Amino acid sequence: MCHGAPCKHPTVDEFAGTISERVARNQSTFRDANERIERTAAQFIEVEQVPFICECPRRDCTEVIRLSLAEYELIRGDGRRFFAASGHETCVVEGEMVAKVVDRGPLFSVLEKVGEAGHVARELDPRGLSGDG
């Protein structure tokens, strides 16, 4: 009870803000995990392909994408960019444009957050890279 009335505890979604912010924060969680994977893989000289987690906005996605460290670094050069398994490209969420596909390959695509989602993704970038624009 809060001052005689039942307490309303905010849900995760209530803290998340706009659709764009929710999508960017969700994908940034996967990006943070992939940063840890990269740091571990970089310790091994002979590694050609590293298993990274798909960075699509699906909370239940468990798709693994194998990238070279050079491919991963190229994507991570811009804090607004994420990669997603082929078929997981999501550019519009609940009617709001949150990303655009900037490169499409047979196994994965590179997406760039746009608008508010792009600003949030840059702010959450653990490397502090600003990217273009």
pLDDT in tens, 117-130: 898 889 888 887 54
Q: pTM (2 decimals)?
A: 0.69
CB atoms within 10 A of CB 53: 18
Report residue 108 as tokens.
């994965």
Residue 7 lies in a domain: no
From CA 41, how far away is CA 47, in angstroms rounded? 7
CB atoms within 10 A of CB 60: 4
Query: What pLDDT score was predicted for residue 64?
Result: 94
Residue 132 lies in a domain: no
The count of domains in the chain is 1
Which residue segment(s) compose the domain that 56 sits in?
12-124
Residue 1 lies in a domain: no
Please report how the helices 115-124 and 19-41 are oriented relative to each other, as an axis angle in degrees rounded to 10.
Answer: 40
Instruction: Return the closest-CA partner of residue 27 out of 104, 119, 114, 113.
Output: 113
Element (H, E) at 120: helix 115-124
Q: What is the CA radius of gyration of the chain?
A: 17
Asked whether the predicted pLDDT for residue 3 surpasses 70, the reply is: no
Residue 131 lies in a domain: no
Query: What pLDDT score was predicted for residue 129?
Result: 55
